[in-house]
Amino acid sequence: MSRTAILLLALAATSSAATLEFDLKAGRARTVTLDSPVDDSTFCEPRGYAGHGAVSRHFTRRVEISNTGVEALTGRLLVVNGRDWTNAEAFAKGLGLSAEPERQGESMKRLFTFWKDHRSHAGSGAKLANEPFAALNFWSYTLCGEDAQSLARLAATIGVPARHVQLNGHVAAEYRYDEAWHVVDGDQNTCYLRLDNETLASADDLRADPFLVLRTRVFGKFSPLDPVASAYNASLIEHVKPGEPKTLKVKTGPAPLNVFTLQPGESLAWLCDKPPEKPAGLLATEKPDALRTAALATIEHRVAAKRYTASKDGTITVRSPFPILKALNHSTGTVFEPKAGEVVFKAQIPVQGPGDKISVFSQCSRLALPLLSSGENSAMLEAEQGNARVSVEYDPPSKLAVPEVVVTMSPVAEGTPGFTIAARPDADRLWWQVSPVRDFTFVAPSLEAVIPFAQDLRFDPLTVTFLTPGRSYFIRAKASAAGVWGQWSELVEFRVTKPRQPHEMKFESVGGGRVRLAWSSGAKNAEFLVFGSNRIDFVPEIFAGEEIVALENLKATGKRANKNLLATVKEQSFEFLPEHRYFRVVARRAGVFSVPSVIERLPDELAVKLPPSKVLQTRATKVGEKDVYRASEEPLAPKAAAGP
């Protein structure tokens, strides 16, 4: 039975979890079959900016590995399906990242897509959160500064340098490959495409044309395309006083990962259904309990006290490659706990004798759990020598309906295809994605969303600007019902039919104070809409009915009607008396719009009588002890006004 089929499971109902046990020898992979049509992915929410990967139920309760040999086991120990996110070499291999110059651009896109799907926005207060493998394995959540540091370290492993983007109240970086810089903002789940819908934009590109930001979904797949959020995000970019960007320097060493030591007779258990009561570090987030239960799990190391030499003060020292939460001597009741907010990797435990029963509890992210998938798995004991026994305790559901999704194209005469989504049984939510590559190793932030289930899927006009005519795209979807997620649907390949983008825009003085704007276009039987504004961050009114003129954080405190359509013409030129500095042209045929042209700035010699350019710009203001970020229309700095 296919995992993507509708599963009405009639498994043997039991009052306790099922157990799968198998033996391993160091360095030898073994195929292990989990006889279940579902696994933990069925019950796990997608990750995103504010979505921490909550689980609707725990499928795997516990995974335990016991040292059954006579020598210590030293290494990563249990490795499932070869997944290794603990070091740069293995990570790059698993994601298909490459340092070859011609593949660095593809690799950065892969890295962005992986990162947005495997971490969320919250703080641990720990210096090690700047280190990507600690961030993934210890917490799986970071704040923007930590996020930029982590991504910079990963990019450096494939030879891609990073530097800061000048922002007001946020931290992000841009990365140099293909002899240019490109912004990747992992924290806000955002990168920005130029209007070729292929090349990642640089910070200079965003200052020259803020529409690249304003058309882009921010804050991840759970957030709607919100003009206020996009305007706020664009207003963070420094337009008024831009300076030289600074190199992003890596400040932390590698995380103490990879090496467990498990003495004979000891065991290590990943308690998949038991998040820590108090997470390691100082958790900073709006809903700490929701994050704690969604993102974190606990590791228990059952210690054989007789294998350790006690110091003069009667304590033994036990180390863990994961942050230690506490150590408990069950025989004496003595507890070791780190200081509040401290992240430690060794515990000193008082003992009264070699027979003491001791547990050391450490924290791991749910990403670090060695979970088996439905069907066949590869399991290996990654250690220098020795033997081990593995026990997997899981809960097979007695009855469960898992949604199956089928995506088909809806017939339309012109423009972007619509899609019909069918789910059996009925579903309550839908996660759709569009990608230009079959393996979905790059998904632009505006080309995916988790939404209430809809049988008819159509894209808003701003989202359609990310689809270029003549290029192949692929769409897939999955659905959930009552917290149970199905698998991805079969891919559907499609293309859009719309006019070609106007290009090669030029200004020419024609006398009498008048100016002609001319452009080229391969659009046949089309008309052209000409838009103009003195705001460099204007949005053509076909995409937005209102223009935001003031913000306080993520709240619009000032708006006006967005009226910037200057003319609709049949020919590929437009004459006018200058009243605006910035222009953009969109082709239209049968009600379908082209990708907008790049923004063009009226030359200074033709704009001497015009008022200064403006931009919505954010500045921080102290209100009591808090910083409040307010945006208003500000005169644009000459450097930022230089145009594309």
pLDDT tens column, 188-210: 999 999 999 999 999 999 999 99
The range of the structural domain enclosing residue 192 comes to: 88-236
- At 145 the three-state DSSP class reads helix
Q: 448: buried, middle or exposed (CB in 10 Å: 19+, 13-18, 0-12)?
A: buried
194 & 293 share domain = no
Q: Dihedral of CA 503/506/510/515: which sign?
A: positive
Q: Dihedral of CA 121/127/128/130: which sign?
A: positive
Task: For the chain, give the percent of residues with pLDDT over 90.
Answer: 86
Can the peptide bond before residue 578 be classed as cis, meaning omega within 30 degrees of 0? Answer: no
Q: 586: buried, middle or exposed (CB in 10 Å: 19+, 13-18, 0-12)?
A: buried
Task: Examine residue 29 and state whether it is found in any structural domain, yes or no.
Answer: no
Give pLDDT, residue 250. 76
Task: Examine residue 94 and state whether it is found in any structural domain, yes or no.
Answer: yes
- What single letter denotes the amino acid at residue 413? A
SS3 content of the chain, % helix, strand, coil (to 5): 15, 40, 45
61 & 196 share domain = no
224 & 277 share domain = no
Mean pLDDT of 557-575: 97
110 & 222 share domain = yes
CATH of the domain at 110: 3.10.620
Task: Examine residue 540 and state whether it is found in any structural domain, yes or no.
Answer: no
Q: How many helices (H) and strands (E) does the chain have?
A: 9, 43
Task: Examine residue 349 and state whether it is found in any structural domain, yes or no.
Answer: yes
Give pLDDT, residue 587. 97
Q: Which of 371, 394, 417 is the last residue of a domain?
A: 394
414 & 472 share domain = yes
Pull the structure tokens for residue 151. Answer: 């991504």
Task: Examine residue 5 and state whether it is found in any structural domain, yes or no.
Answer: no
267 & 194 share domain = no
> Given pLDDT bands bounded at 50, 70 and 90, which one contains residue 1?
very low
Distance CA 420, CA 622 (A): 50
pLDDT at 4 over 60: no
232 & 134 share domain = yes
Strands of the sheet with 29-34, listed across from one edge: 29-34, 375-382, 77-80
Angle between helices 88-95 and 104-116 in degrees, nearest 10: 100
Mean pLDDT of 216-235: 96
Q: What are 365's strand-pairing partners? A: 296
How many structural domains comprise the chain? 3
Task: Examine residue 582 and state whether it is found in any structural domain, yes or no.
Answer: no
373-415: pLDDT as tens digits:
999 999 999 999 999 999 999 998 888 889 999 999 987 656 6
Pull the structure tokens for residue 643. Answer: 């145009």
**Any alpha helices (H) in 16-116, and if so which ranges?**
88-95, 104-116
Task: Examine residue 631 and state whether it is found in any structural domain, yes or no.
Answer: no
Residue 415 DSSP class: B
Q: Which of 454, 473, 494 is the last residue of a domain?
A: 494
Distance CA 564, CA 533 (A): 6
Mean pLDDT of the chain: 92
Report the predicted TM-score, pTM, of the whole model to 2 decimal places.
0.93
436 & 478 share domain = yes
445-497: pLDDT as tens digits:
999 999 999 999 999 999 999 999 999 999 999 999 999 999 999 999 999 99
Q: What are 449's strand-pairing partners? A: 432
200 & 326 share domain = no
Q: Which of 360, 394, 428 is the last residue of a domain?
A: 394
